[in-house]
Structure 1
């Protein structure tokens, strides 16, 4: 199982110096990737977690991280596809892939925030057809000499988009969602499944089975389908409902549970730690806490105590 981490995109630590320093440090420590997430706005009547109150744009933040690093992969979990046309996102994702030298992973979801749907003049339904047509447009623009598509929801006149992505076929597209239909769709037509912050270990275990079964039924190799999990870390305080909580040994033990469930990549997302990603957190203290955590949990190198970190999986 590959070990990655969340990019500083929320709250007090989401500023230029912190983002660049964290991205470079994660690369030095041997993390596989950096992951961002999307939140456009919060409705006045919405009661959302503090992590959602102040969030950088995920693609722009990844572009900044790309300029600060050389090897680490750059993923977004997830862009809500109803908010933006597939042609526009195809251009953004291809550009990020070119500027990063082929390091981009694109996670897509259908969204859940009614204020964001209203603000973008969008709607998610019909979800299945929308996702399938959206991916068809993306892949056409990234791969076809002259791309064209005529669907019920999206149309693409004969067109050429350049430059093309560096990665053959374009950035890998992973799909979010927890409903059975969404899980089967991820296994059937995408590079894999990416989970949300609300996905429990039991949900992950069940989801892995559905995704891989759907891949196999579609004639794909289920072992090649990626399972990417956002892991919310609670360092220093154990909560049995959170596998990645407690001391370093307990958190690494929780990571091993995800590996045993069939997860191919786990990213420690510190944005969900209120002392780091909270809007009212102290920026200096947030940076110091984040540094301590990613150093202690690194897939290679040494923890602050001098103990050798282990490669998980």
Structure 2
């Protein structure tokens, strides 16, 4: 099983953000993610919103980064760790511009960028950007197809309702082939079908861990799934925050769990198809304690978990 490092102060979510995180700056984030890289973490990811309506501030907080810009920053600060998003709100981007940004970051990082795409949930955010909220799923499908065309074709051409282009060059291509990995976020059947068509990974947010096998089977049963290797990200403590940033209890995690309890839970996750995970820290005093916990996870938890990704096919 592979481990994700949670980079502090990518959000200011009242339900889970410690007060000390609010003082963490961008340069300090670079130092912390470099340490995570040294420790052997496999992935770091960056969430995204462009604006937060006042009606959601109490739950969501105001602080979000542009995922692709932040990914490039993190990649530039590190040497080995792979850099994901969680999530990039695809319909709020122009697909040509986003494809260029991700390809640029992948090329400059030597092939360490991938992205988890979602369709968004906040109608007011869409309204602020002038994007039709109720067309976001159709837009996402078209945008993904257009981006793959840009990343893989020597002379990209695409004709759709929302984006069209022809007789153009698009360089540099991503280093990763056939293109940088696409993950899909979301739990609805439409998201699962999107994952089957485009993705090599899935990041659920509202599903319980016991629901994962059936949903993974649903993805792999779709005619558009071609047997490609497939990852599933499911953090320990996933149930604490759901869509709209509403907190809920996670029966698999409680603060203060011991080493063996955590290992047992994550071994069960692996049996159910999870290939990536993370272990939330207890309430800590600051960056040094946070990194000490991160080191403890790698040294005391990771060695006791399966090294083969049982969820991959």
Name the TM tier (shorter chain). 0.7 to 0.9
Q: What is the alpha-carbon distance in structure 1 between the residues aligned to residue 95 and residue 254 of structure 2?
A: 35
Query: After TM superposition, which residue ranges in structure 1, 4 or more long, deviate above 4 angstroms?
Result: none
Q: What is the alpha-carbon distance in structure 2 between the residues aligned to residue 244 and residue 58 of structure 1?
A: 29
Question: Which of 146, 167, 192 does residue 155 from structure 2 map onto?
Answer: 146
Indicate the structure with greater strand content: 1
| 1:312 alignment partner in structure 2 | 305
The aligned runs of 1:194-209 (5 Å cut-off) are 194-196=203-205, 198-209=206-217
Q: 1:229, CA displacement in angstroms?
A: 2.5
Deviations 1:79-131 (A, max 9, x none): 11111110010011001101211001111110001221012111343444322
Q: What is the alpha-carbon distance in structure 1 between the residues aligned to residue 278 and residue 100 of structure 2?
A: 26
Q: What is the alpha-carbon distance in structure 2 between the residues aligned to residue 260 and residue 243 of structure 1?
A: 17
Question: Which of 259, 274, 278 does residue 270 from structure 2 map onto?
Answer: 259
Runs of 5+ in structure 1 lacking a partner? 277-284
The aligned runs of 1:1-313 (5 Å cut-off) are 1-8=1-8, 9-11=10-12, 12=22, 14-46=24-56, 48-49=58-59, 52-196=61-205, 198-214=206-222, 217-218=223-224, 220-221=226-227, 224-232=229-237, 241-243=251-253, 245=255, 246-268=257-279, 275=283, 285-298=285-298, 301=299, 310-313=303-306
Distance 1:112 1:64, change over 3 A: same
Q: What is the alpha-carbon distance in structure 2 between the residues aligned to residue 78 and residue 219 of structure 1?
A: 22
Deviations 1:159-203 (A, max 9, x none): 11112111122211111111122212212332221223x443234
Distance 1:115 1:286, change over 3 A: farther
Q: What is the alpha-carbon distance in structure 1 between the residues aligned to residue 62 and residue 4 of structure 2?
A: 24
Deviations 1:184-226 (A, max 9, x none): 2212332221223x44323434322222222xx435116x122
Distance 1:68 1:121, change over 3 A: same
| 1:279 alignment partner in structure 2 | none
Distance 1:233 1:207, change over 3 A: closer
Instruction: Give the TM-score normalised by the residue count of structure 2.
Output: 0.82
State the Cα RMSD in Å: 2.5
Instruction: Give the TM-score normalised by the residue count of structure 1.
Output: 0.82
Does the CA-based 8 Å contact 2:119-2:137 persist in structure 1?
Answer: no
Deviations 1:277-311 (A, max 9, x none): xxxxxxxx33134213211111xx3x5xxxx8524
Q: What is the alpha-carbon distance in structure 2 between the residues aligned to residue 293 and residue 24 of structure 1?
A: 15
Q: What is the alpha-carbon distance in structure 1 between the residues aligned to residue 187 and residue 250 of structure 2?
A: 22
Distance 1:14 1:258, change over 3 A: farther
Query: How many equivalent residue pairs?
Result: 286
Does the CA-based 8 Å contact 1:134-1:154 persist in structure 2?
Answer: yes
Deviations 1:138-165 (A, max 9, x none): 0111121211111122222331111211
